[in-house]
A = this chain, B = another copy of it.
Amino acid sequence: MSIESILTYIHGSNQVALFTHIQPDGDAIGSCLALAHLLKITGKSVDVYCQDKVPAYLQFLMGTELFQAKYKKEMDYDLNIAIDCSDKERLGIFSNDYLSAIHTVNIDHHISNTLYAKTNLVDPKAAATGEIIYRLVRAFTDKPCRDIAEALYTAISTDTGGFRFCNTTAHSYRIAAELVDCGIDVEQINTHLYKTNRLERVRLLERALSSLTLYDDNRIAIISITQEDLFATGAVESEIENIVNYAKDIIGVELGILLKEMNDGTVRISFRSKGGIDVSKLAEQFEGGGHRAAAGASLNMNIEQARAGVLYAARIALEDYN
């Protein structure tokens, strides 16, 4: 579906609701806020729904207080727009509310999108949903306001790993340039996104690194994090996320693995590859899944048993690869 038909729906609506996915990331929050700001400027009434809270690192964006976790049953929306959701289950508790409007629009960039709305604007070539929202914004104005520009920069930057992942295109950089022209403070945004660390997370990192163990001529690196590590440092589970990269990024390492002891006694495994070994296949052996370079699985055993099992499978994968 084209941008123009979405614009027709927007122009014909007064009460609009935006929805994004559970456990929202920068693209979800940034894209929602940019569109919410735009709709408000054009005089619409807008509600913004997300089941889960806006993460701390995104709280600097203007308008994060707009997000609501309770649906206004009394509202009779003309138009419901789902943003950055590949299927309606990603809407969490709002998946039925979303479908209740006369017009439903689905704006997303995931290739796996199930086209669950009446009108679907899905572009898998976009590095982020924020790039599609940018096109919508540009249909209204050549130079969006700073709040919109900051939200879109955040959306695109976070989904491209700070303009570093392979999904980053020349177009992503061109949009960044145009957003800088709108007066955003590049350093300030990047400080919020990438250079802000809770002390508890730094303490957790120290403990995680002290667990770092290398195997097989340093081609496999394993980090483990226990419940005791979280308890002792005061760090929270979401702060574990990127620590696996410290294992993967070591020169010579082909497979970086993180073992995370969960509070239900299971062990969550994150597999990362430099690209040579397909870790989705490794994860499948443990009934998990993912992509070639990043995958995960859950094991119902203690962390030392999990280490032994994962290491055994990793060694075979490494041998097959060589």
Contact = CB atoms under 8 A, between A and B. Distances in A.
A195 B161 CA distance: 12
B186 A163 contact: yes
Contact of A187 (B165, B218, B246, B250): B165
A197 B166 contact: no
A61 B161 CA distance: 22
Nearest to A197: B249
Given A209-B209, A251-B197, A251-B199, A170 B165 contact: no
Contacts of A135: none
Interface in A228-285: 245-246, 249-252, 274
Given A164-B187, A177-B177, A186-B163, A202 B209 contact: yes
A162 interface: yes
A181 interface: yes
B176 A163 contact: yes
Number of copies: 2
A246 B209 contact: no
A196 interface: yes
Contacts of A274: 191
Contacts of A194: 164
Given A197-B249, A202-B250, A246-B202, A176 B178 contact: no
A170 B177 contact: yes
Contacts of A13: none
A126 interface: no
A304 interface: no
Contacts of A252: 199
A68 interface: no
A54 interface: no
A205 interface: yes
A302 to B, nearest CB: 25
A214 interface: yes
A164 B197 CA distance: 17
Contacts of A245: 195
A199 B163 contact: no
Contacts of A181: 170
A168 B187 contact: yes
Nearest to A218: B199
Interface in A164-180: 164-166, 168-171, 173-174, 176-178, 180
Contact of A180 (B161, B168, B178, B195): B168
18 contacts: A163-B163, A164-B186, A164-B187, A164-B194, A166-B185, A168-B180, A170-B177, A173-B173, A173-B174, A173-B176, A173-B180, A191-B274, A195-B245, A199-B218, A205-B209, A206-B206, A206-B212, A209-B209
What are the 6 tightest A-B residue pairs by CB atom distance, in nearest-first order?
A: A173-B177, A206-B209, A164-B190, A166-B187, A170-B180, A170-B177
Given A173-B174, A199-B214, A199-B218, 16 more contacts: A161-B190, A163-B186, A164-B187, A166-B185, A168-B180, A170-B177, A170-B178, A170-B180, A173-B176, A177-B177, A195-B249, A197-B250, A197-B251, A202-B209, A206-B209, A206-B212
